[in-house]
Structure 1
Amino acid sequence: MSEKNLTETKFSSLGLAEPLIQGIEETGFSYCTPIQAETLPPALEGHDVAGQAQTGTGKTAAFLLAGFQYLLTHPATEHRKPNQPRAMILAPTRELAIQIHKDAESLGRHTGLKLGLVYGGTGYEQQRTMLQEGVDILIGTPGRIIDYFKQKVFNLREAQVLVLDEADRMFDLGFIDDIRYLLRRMPDPDKRLNMLFSATLSMRVTELAYEHMNNPTKVTIETDSVTADNVRQAIYYTANDEKIPLLLGLINQMVPTRSIIFVNTKRMAERIDAYLEGNDLKAAVLSGDVPQQKRQRLLEQFQQGELPILIATDVAARGLHVPEVSHVFNFDLPQDAEDYVHRIGRTARAGASGDAISFACEDYSFSLPDIESYIGYKIPSEPVSSDLLVEPKPPAKRERRPRKPNGRGGQSQGRRNNRPHKRHS
């Protein structure tokens, strides 16, 4: 985190338990970000918090530290059973849930609290066994969690802490009914610590907060602009048949160290992947139906720098915390203006700078006015010069594989495939 994104508030001044101070020091942080400085004091006093902040601002550490502190200072009841978690943290995507769990392991390593991670797509029986044996803090996505809940694998009668992260995205993915179902089966709001975070505290998010929280303190971290100031944005007006040559030309010219290419469909992602391979560029596709173990392997390779290019649908637009992404390419402009902000927010994280290049083509240029209206300014345009257009080599040939039935172990992220099985309803 760069100096300009930090406040003068030190974690050591907040009265945190010694195990948490030790975890913070080992992560290398000393000073709070604005969202941490504003939300931690009321949360540490036991007040509910509804916070508005963009991704990459440090909100995960804020709710983890507050939750850990509450559990350390409010012992569990004597009659609590192993399959009764003391805290539940809900995230809209499995990538975000995995990242929260990773951060929780770092910050809470000295607390003695047991973490559990639950999400669709893999490890069904292993996750079930883990819940039966018991965890203190349950982190996961709504679909898989409610599946186990309806099977009575665990219950929430002893829950002391609730966190809803990226609540606006919960609505977008259709999870909100499931979430309300779970919240109604927890102790009353005044008997637990509740924290909600969202990129926007819209009317529907605020209504959810006041319905299931105890008079929450509202914290809004204002930014001068919707998008990060250190993202260099550019847009190229291009014909459809120029997009692949232009992409190859920009990659050759800019030599990105680690980049994400966003597309709107899996079919286009696979087409780009074939062209990149045919032109000696190493890349991989991340979309909703990629098996979870493969997704995690690809993300680890990308994070470690072994894989320089990731081609992704919007399933990857939120919840990815990958350092040093130098370039984001919007090969297809998103059809939702908010998704543009989330996509380009994958670069220029933690105070770094980055480039976001977008193509306004024949199919998706209609989205541009809404995007520019949402961010509040026109994106600088660049000419599509002939020296930028590379004549591509033929795409790599791929063997078509028969589709496998999507069973319990192959759930993909999203409302349709991440909801509980009917026989458990």
Structure 2
Amino acid sequence: MQPSHLSDTRFADLDLHPTLLAGLDRLGFTHCTPIQAAALPRALAGHDLAGQAQTGTGKSAAFLLATMQRLLTVPRKPEDDAKQPRAFMLAPTRELAVQIHKDAMAIGADTGLRMTVCYGGAGYETQRASIEAGVDILIGTPGRLIDYYKQHTYTLKQIEVLVLDEADRMFDLGFIADIRYLIRKMPPPAQRKNYLFSATLSHRVLELAYEHMNDPQKIEIEPEQVTADRVRQAMVHVANDEKMPLLVGLLRQHQSERSLVFINTKREAEDVERGLRANGFEASVLSGDVSQGTRLRLLEDFKAGKLPVLVATDVAARGLHIPGVDLVINYDLPQDPEDYVHRIGRTARAGASGDAISLCCETWVYSLPDIEKYIGMRIPSLEGGHDLIVEDYIAPPREPRRHRGGGPGGRRGGARRGGGGGGRPRGRR
């Protein structure tokens, strides 16, 4: 019997190129996850896909295998420029683009395919030189890819495969106009394979799919099938001034090797980092304002176990595969119920189990009913939760606030809730 997070479908039973099977075998992958078992046969049969699946379910491997299979079995046209990309993969965040590239390099190690990743904040000339040297699969975020495209660093005329990952997040971050700009420079949908994946197949995501894809087949893997049954969820109602002492108590009790603490604002994340360090915890902040080099270093340290506590805004909630996260703490409840699912999905990955504990404070408790409605269950109260509020909490010295312009940072009370019509607060997390 296979582990519960795997299906009965074996990669060896699919008509995959020998070099891909060799890569999967080296990585120890023998059986498909549910999204792979549903998507790969359809993709290998030549269908476009619009797939719904949460992160951590193996969807990256699904579209990477389908893309590489196409490039390995259908040769370039003799008249085509051998340096131009044949596959184009768009991701909403730098971290997700880097992760896709890392997975691609591992799976495609024996294929000879040239793969490059592009994102803002680092390596401008290096990334451009990599494209100019010749690339088969070009992966990246929309802004940097448009920049290089407008400089004529590459062309999109030879694109045979288009991948849009985390399409719903593309909407949230305002990238849809950029994506449509890039797609219009490619061959028409019928002349390429198109794979779109999203945590939710909402009306706006499906509209994007049917506008720019060739009669895509819809695949839906429900969230509760892939995360909730392996995540031990709990919550504690707590006053604002007790949150830090409770957080310290939770971390002391669990003694987790890798703990992710999610905060709604960058400024609050910095306060939490200082509080944890003052109480003996090695912790660092991962947010949108951290430089790309620092972000990658923090993630590598966290994955390697050198950094036990990562304090993160929602920039870390999607698309990051971090093995061994055994504790997720929602220091702030997210405003969007979907973000709750993505946050707790950082633990219990690849068949493991984990704990997700939410602190329901006076400021963010209003999000709780929408979250519980979305996940279809009441989050149980943590037994003895208030007993974990430590009495020896050491408050760090307060640092002077730096005025950043545009009003006070971290505003809470006036922020609208996320939901229909794009009501989520805009601004950097």
- Per-residue deviation, 1:301: 0.3
Map of 1:7 onto structure 2: 7
| Structure 1 position 281 matched with structure 2 position 278 | no
8 Å CA contact retained: 1:86, 1:158? yes
8 Å CA contact retained: 1:226, 1:375? no
Q: Which amino acid aligns with 2:389?
A: L
Q: Which runs of 5+ in 1 are unaligned?
A: 404-414, 418-425
- What is the CA deviation profile of residues 324-355 of structure 1, one whole-angstrom value per residue up to 9, with x for unaligned ones? 10100111111111111111110111111111
8 Å CA contact retained: 1:83, 1:155? no
| Structure 1 position 49 matched with structure 2 position 44 | no
Q: Distance in 2 between matches of 1:292 and 1:230?
A: 32
TM score, norm. by length of structure 1: 0.91
Within 5 Å, which residues of 2 pair with 1:19-418?
19-222=19-222, 224=224, 227-382=227-382, 384-386=385-387, 388-395=389-396
8 Å CA contact retained: 1:48, 1:195? yes
Q: Distance in 2 between matches of 1:248 and 1:224?
A: 30
Q: Distance in 2 between matches of 1:83 and 1:176?
A: 27
- Per-residue deviation, 1:73: 1.1
CA gap 1:225/1:369 in 2 versus in 1, 3 angstroms? farther
CA gap 1:241/1:134 in 2 versus in 1, 3 angstroms? same
Q: Which amino acid aligns with 2:170?
A: M
Instruction: Report how many aligned residue pairs link the two structures.
Output: 406
Answer 1 or 2: higher relative contact order, Cα 8 Å, separation at least 6. 1
8 Å CA contact retained: 2:57, 2:226? no
- What is the CA deviation profile of residues 255-289 of structure 1, one whole-angstrom value per residue up to 9, with x for unaligned ones? 12210000011111111111111111101100101
Q: Distance in 1 between matches of 2:260 and 2:396?
A: 19
8 Å CA contact retained: 1:283, 1:307? yes
Q: Which runs of 5+ in 2 are unaligned?
A: 405-425
Q: Distance in 2 between matches of 1:306 and 1:387?
A: 26
8 Å CA contact retained: 2:246, 2:386? no
Map of 1:17 onto structure 2: 17
TM score, norm. by length of structure 2: 0.91
Q: Distance in 2 between matches of 1:365 and 1:48?
A: 41
Q: Percent identity?
A: 60
8 Å CA contact retained: 2:236, 2:386? no
- Per-residue deviation, 1:367: 0.8
Q: Distance in 1 between matches of 2:427 and 2:158?
A: 30
Q: Distance in 2 between matches of 1:20 and 1:396?
A: 55
8 Å CA contact retained: 1:82, 1:132? no
8 Å CA contact retained: 2:325, 2:346? yes
- Per-residue deviation, 1:295: 0.6
- Per-residue deviation, 1:27: 0.6
8 Å CA contact retained: 2:242, 2:389? no
Q: Distance in 1 between matches of 2:178 and 2:64?
A: 23
8 Å CA contact retained: 1:248, 1:390? no
Q: Which amino acid aligns with 2:396?
A: P
